[in-house]
Chains A and B, each alone.
Chain A
């Protein structure tokens, strides 16, 4: 029986429990729901959830744990002299899994009987050709260790699955029986359903947090690996970025960092004033009608995938800038379409709806009584906005700007297409430069060896970026908090 079938069985048991629970509760109340502590549906849900939740948790844990355990057991069957390092071992193991899968398929297609599959020997059977007959292609002949390992793998899997199935169904039945036994008109089904709901919510929240922790841990782990191979001082303070997979790379973060900073700065210089003014217009001056279509329109702009903005940078903005600031324009500042300016402008355009939408919400949340107070003193609308509304909204706006900065720093596609790939420390905004994110992509794509510093540096770059955006967000929160203390 497969896991999905077990799942369906558990669900069916829960459905049965739902009906039984309801019936039993009604019976114990003598058919009168006023005698029940909770509404009948709570008793029904209580029984259904008791059957469902523990069984499913068991199933999920089993599904995660079993492959890891079996892998371990089978690995120990492979003799030490067959492999030199972990990489080779994992190659052998993937062979084992393929053979095991092939045998499964063969049994399914009746090319082999169950007994044959677990007893065939390389000495007597050409496993490779028999598997090829049913469409499983193997890279090399199957040797004895691999075949016995694969057979062991299948055997372990089969017992594991059988035990799993039995235990999961047993858990569902136990939950069902226990909760049915507890069901009577005095049982506080409402409260116990409440607890389960809370547990589910906590579960969802912790899953999100655990995932984040997992991501951070994997970043940290790989970053540490990188710093074992490459000195941290050279990484943080090196002014040259020239990775070469042949060795002798210089991996200084400063040029990348400067590119990120410069492009973000230009992007914010574009997005913050325009976005803010747009927000002020939308929230203070626009009629409800204009607001009704302009705001959704701006939000659509926020939904455009960044690769589209990247194309816009590459095909429109870049050439336009070259024609003005390039050789033809007579200035000769700009060599090619890809430049800090190109990426910065387009990124700024991308951030406008982000800034304006957030600021609009914040400006709207300034109480009307503030505006009334100022207008009532004979201030004009723009005086009111400048001197009362914006100062009151300032902490929120600063927060919005810092969030926009986080996005600018993390942006990749616009940089790849708009700013070029040359890591360079230059003050000229018309030079091509690149950013941390763009380099993370280029270090990990292509056939890099994942153990080399040239590939691992991507994790160190990612970690640095993560720390910076985190600091930025914390700073944003801190600003919002301190101002709030002062004003509320």
Chain B
């Protein structure tokens, strides 16, 4: 399901949402990300692929400063969100994470009701003026998370009682509810069965209309299906970054080709 070359060309002209320059990440003495430059476009799905341990998650977590929560992690270089350095002293990482939402590998609904899971972000950030307003946000988010029909009759049942695929869509809806501008997803389908994976992929494709989505995946088919741009990481380096179609059909770097044809893994 590649986009046609035509539409890719159009996407290529979209505004730059995140721009990373010479990013280095260290875990203690381990140099996990080396000199990565990448421009992530608005209203585009960007896929990070690469063998496991190559630093995809690490780089993704740099984009909303989730690495701050790891004591030994150190980030160098520059990451601009809409032209502003997110590692600047004046930037509040908490505020940043409201703008750059994150969905994790394993669905992690809070031990609260479905409603409270979605309302969590809006309540914290004071996005709702009234109860009705909040109800509205919850419904809208669940609809955009493509799970409204399944849960509308049990909004007050615990979110942990849903199936794995539903939980992951709940987590996506929860991230959407805070109205982020960028949505980061770290292998969001790795714990899901094929049907749930299909539903989540469909959802990601719809999300592209409003957000810039960055998705880490170890499934190349998935990258090919949902993304417009793909970045290939290898041993902490960004080896190749370009149009998804081009990366998968005509890669420039021999390492990319080996990975895609299954020789590195």
Contact = CB atoms under 8 A, between A and B. Distances in A.
Given A375-B97, A376-B97, A377-B120, A370 B71 contact: no
Interface in A357-376: 367, 369-376
Interface string B94-114: 111111011110101111100
Interface stretch (B77-85, B170-178, B221-229): B170-178
Given A377-B98, A488-B160, A372 B69 contact: yes
Interface residues of B, number: 30
Contacts of A369: 104, 106, 108
Contact of B108 (A288, A373, A383, A486): A373
B64 interface: yes
B66 A387 contact: no
Contacts of A379: 94, 120-121, 124
Contacts, number: 77
B10 interface: no
Interface string B51-79: 00000000000001010010100000000
Contacts of B112: 391
Nearest to A387: B120
Contacts of B158: 486-487
Contact of B171 (A373, A383, A392): A373
A19 to B, nearest CB: 53
A486 B159 CA distance: 10
Contacts of A387: 110, 120, 124
Contacts of B66: 372, 375-376
B63 to A, nearest CB: 11
A378 B178 contact: yes
Interface string A464-488: 0000000000000000000000111
A301 interface: no
Interface string A378-392: 111001000110011
Given A372-B69, A373-B171, A378 B98 contact: yes
A287 interface: yes
Contacts of B125: 378
A481 to B, nearest CB: 15
Given A288-B71, A486-B158, A374 B106 contact: no
B110 A392 contact: yes
Contacts of B124: 377-379, 383, 387
Contacts of B106: 369
B110 A378 contact: no
A185 B230 CA distance: 64
Interface string A268-307: 0000000000000000000110000000000000000000
Contact of B104 (A287, A373, A487): A373
Interface in B100-154: 101-104, 106, 108-112, 120-121, 124-125
A10 to B, nearest CB: 57
Contacts of A388: 110-111
When A and B form their complex, which 8 residue pairs have the shortest distance between CB atoms, in order from nearest? A378-B98, A376-B102, A487-B111, A369-B108, A378-B97, A373-B108, A377-B121, A392-B111
Given A376-B101, A376-B102, 16 more contacts: A370-B108, A372-B69, A372-B104, A372-B108, A373-B108, A373-B110, A375-B97, A377-B97, A377-B174, A377-B175, A378-B94, A378-B178, A379-B94, A391-B112, A392-B111, A487-B111
16 contacts: A369-B104, A369-B106, A372-B66, A372-B102, A373-B104, A373-B174, A375-B66, A375-B69, A376-B104, A377-B97, A377-B124, A377-B178, A378-B94, A387-B124, A392-B111, A487-B111
